[in-house]
Amino acid sequence: MTWIHAYLFRRFDLGCRNARLYKVNEDAANPIMNITKRVLSYNSLRSAKACALVVCYLITFPAESQIYRFGHCLFGCPEGLSGNHTLVRSAYTLLYDENKKSAVWAAYEVTAGSIGIASSLSRDLVKDDWVSEALTAGDLAGLAEQDYVRSQHVPLVSFAGTPYWSEVNFASNATVRSRSLSQGAWYGLDWSLRNLVNREAAVYVYTGAIFDSEAEPRLLTEGNGYRIPDRFFKIVLTEDGRAAAFLFPQETAVHVHHCDLRADIEEIEALSGLSFFPAATVDVELSLYPMLGCSF
């Protein structure tokens, strides 16, 4: 049984700036299993009279396996790790683990129109009312002393050109990443991804945190027991099935290139406990690396 706690429907009149909010209860015995409306692509904002329906809701996954299809999740959302909460917003979909105060995975679509200049946008952490446990400003107070930075699974720049850029500041999208990784390989891949979007109609991204079961837990000094992720993964995908996959250890030195951190999807699945692309209609092949600056 799937339990749908609530639906928030945000109706955007794309010819104006006002947004209206609606809250609707959905019969848990008859959940919507396939949302075919793709979440707003900012390219469509150029149509002055167009309207779009953006669905934002909270789900507790059942123990049995079901395939969930949302616009952010090309070929179906990742399966596995039941019992967590799925949050669907205009900019992204993510699976959230309240025990770890971390997203298990996040999925989002990047287009040329969604990317923007983020230098003047707020990066302040925003409380997420949909989750009961999440990182707070107090948890993050001692980051600098530990050489970590607050980061985001879904990056601000990728949605700075949209009206819903502020969604990336929700605490459920926050994570802790080493300064060297953030300024090195992670930044390099994000930069290459944005360049790729200029040549592709759309690029889909799956990313998330990995906690190694055999690793010694690293804790934030001010984080009330918050465990710092041991690794991160990122899978980049196009609609025709071309993909690239990467694994980022926290201790990655700043000079390491993202191309040196290539990985197999099977390796990411084994480490994360997730299964990707359950509804794939084409063969997914790791052939996108050259488009991200990597030679074979």
Distance CA 126, CA 268 (A): 30
pLDDT given for residue 37 in this prediction: 33
Which residue bears the tokens 């107090």? 138
Distance CA 51, CA 60 (A): 29
Which residue bears the tokens 């819903």? 164
Distance CA 100, CA 221 (A): 15
Tell which phi-psi region holds residue 294, choosing left (phi > 0), alpha (psi between -120 and 50) or beta.
beta
Q: Which amino acid is at 263?
A: A
Determine which of 106-115, 206-215, 220-229, 274-283 has the lowest per-residue pLDDT on average.
Answer: 220-229
Q: What is the pTM of this model?
A: 0.80
**Which structural domains are found in the chain, ordered by start?**
3-292 (3.40.570.10)
- Rg (Cα) of the chain, in Å, rounded? 18
pLDDT tens-place string over residues 170-217: 999 999 999 999 999 999 999 999 999 999 989 999 999 999 988 899
Contact predicate 283/241, CB 8 Å = yes
pLDDT tens-place string over residues 81-111: 776 889 999 999 999 999 999 999 999 999 9
- E strand or H helix at 265, and its extent? helix 265-272
Tell which phi-psi region holds residue 293, choosing left (phi > 0), alpha (psi between -120 and 50) or beta.
left
Closest CA to 47 of 83, 14, 5, 96: 14
Which residue bears the tokens 């063969």? 283
171 φ, ψ to 5°?
A: -60, -30
Contact predicate 95/153, CB 8 Å = no
